[in-house]
Structure 1
């Protein structure tokens, strides 16, 4: 209350500035782009895995074909992200970080996310049929169908949800070889499959640790898994992946074609170190964002580069 005789001035309260027309116009496209998860696109580099493992990465015509497959797989994954975020908007609003996603935050309306995802899925499937061989188109179409089934139903089925996400990674690793007609080694498939299961189950374990007691509000099955079970799964997967890789590396039996050292066998040390290093984050419950772990941990990055160098020397028979 003012003192008697005091002069009272009307001071208008400051209001936050209204967003400009340009910012409003850019809000929806930027929201759709964010929903497409650009940071997740790094996962699709796995399309080079099979050609690299077979030593076919630098052959004529390989590069352009792999770029096409990478773009198509990225578009397919983005379509699924859009539809998934539209379906999970209510649940994401209860999550401490997912509530900032554009659909959950209201930046992208749910019907728009559904429409954009559906159109992108149809266009990606049509492009695969037109520009890729039959097996590649079938694999990509199967990926989209499986992931959409996951969004609607399969993510609510215990254990099957882990299997579907793992299979998605395995399809990424396979599709480069399928597109180029490269036979896929059984050891490659086992290593890639269980390596993917290791990362998927470690991610789910981290989510369960961080959201313990309220998992059902953010991911349908988190409250049905125990942390002990998820720990068992990622430990089992890590062990099988290491064993399969070692058997794969030892299959060549030592140096060949005048190689200076048994590079493939030496790469086992780097591979095992990478698994052990990633397991540190899994054990802490901080592997909820695998791309952040891979991109931001310097030791893991160095180990990965050493492994790539050793495997490249093995492929080149130097």
Structure 2
């Protein structure tokens, strides 16, 4: 059983917390009904994203075998057969889409778009320079939109832009880390890495990092009648710079999830951001 749970990559579910974006930035997180809907939407994304990971593992079987870490994954290591992996993937898709259909027809549409986007990514776009990372960023935007749809909250354009650029930042940092760590074996693992260079990725990462800070700042300035939310800018700036430090000095950029879950600096920063944002939202109109 453990090998099938491992195949779902539950550690990667942290990415689906973007679904909570809309409810966090509204006062609806105090409403049980709204919170329940968002939790179910989160679980739906967890299941559909796990199905996508299984599809990727099947498609990238040979490349994963030469990767120092990915070769230990259930399919690449031979612990789970391709047949059983496909069965698990289908079950996850059915449960996810059924839950979405029960919640909100628009959530169902978003999940279908998310899955189709990932199918296109897996079989085509992942081999196209720049579009590979942009495709991943679209997945994060769909998560945020889904969180707003299920509780009928209109999202600020600045939050959408902020989500886009922070996901681009994580994506380009991951590509750079793969180039650094895999060196001569980089293209054996991911052919698209032959079209990138560390300098190019470093330059573009710096640009999107700066844009993320700008768009979040604009959100905190324009989205509320008060300006107290601008206090939270310091946590966003520190978090981005801390992640940049981890990828450049500690070589943790290959797994954004690992960096977020294991680094005390980022964990404390996220907690303080959440507490500060909640207090400001609750105490202001």
Listed one character per residue, the Cα deviations across residues 114-150 of structure 1 (whole Å, up to 9, x for unaligned) are 2321342244224322x12222111011101111221
Q: 1:123 to 1:310 in 2, by over 3 A?
A: closer
Give the deviation of 1:253 after TM superposition.
7.5
Give the deviation of 1:214 after TM superposition.
1.5
**Gapped runs of 5+ residues in structure 1?**
1-28, 257-261
2:99 is aligned with 1:137: no
Q: Which residue in 2 is equivalent to 1:104?
A: 76
Q: Alignment length, in residue pairs?
A: 283
Residue pair 1:197, 1:237 contacting (<8 A) in 2 also: yes
Q: Which residue in 2 is equivalent to 1:61?
A: 33
Q: 1:220 to 1:113 in 2, by over 3 A?
A: farther
Q: Which has the higher contact order (CA 8 A, sep 6+)?
A: 2
Q: Which residue in 1 is equivalent to 2:211?
A: 240
Listed one character per residue, the Cα deviations across residues 260-314 of structure 1 (whole Å, up to 9, x for unaligned) are xx53121111211111111112323421111111121112222222211221122
Listed one character per residue, the Cα deviations across residues 192-243 of structure 1 (whole Å, up to 9, x for unaligned) are 1111111111111111111122211111211221111211222111100100
Q: Which residue in 1 is equivalent to 2:234?
A: 269
Q: Which residue in 1 is equivalent to 2:60?
A: 88
SS class of match (1:212): helix
Distance 1:100 1:137 in 2: 33
Residue pair 1:37, 1:81 contacting (<8 A) in 2 also: yes
Q: Which residue in 2 is equivalent to 1:305?
A: 271
Distance 2:56 2:87 in 1: 12
Q: Which residue in 1 is equivalent to 2:177?
A: 206
Quick check: which has more Rg, 1 or 2? 1
SS class of match (1:158): coil
1:1-318 equivalences under 5 Å are 29-129=1-101, 131-251=102-222, 256=226, 263-284=228-249, 285-317=251-283
Residue pair 1:83, 1:118 contacting (<8 A) in 2 also: no
Distance 1:172 1:182 in 2: 14
Residue pair 2:19, 2:146 contacting (<8 A) in 1 also: yes
Q: Which residue in 2 is equivalent to 1:13?
A: none
Distance 1:150 1:210 in 2: 23
Give the deviation of 1:61 after TM superposition.
0.6
Distance 1:227 1:295 in 2: 25
Residue pair 2:12, 2:257 contacting (<8 A) in 1 also: yes
Distance 2:99 2:283 in 1: 37
Residue pair 2:51, 2:92 contacting (<8 A) in 1 also: yes
Distance 2:103 2:266 in 1: 35
The alignment's C-alpha RMSD in Å is: 1.7
SS class of match (1:223): helix
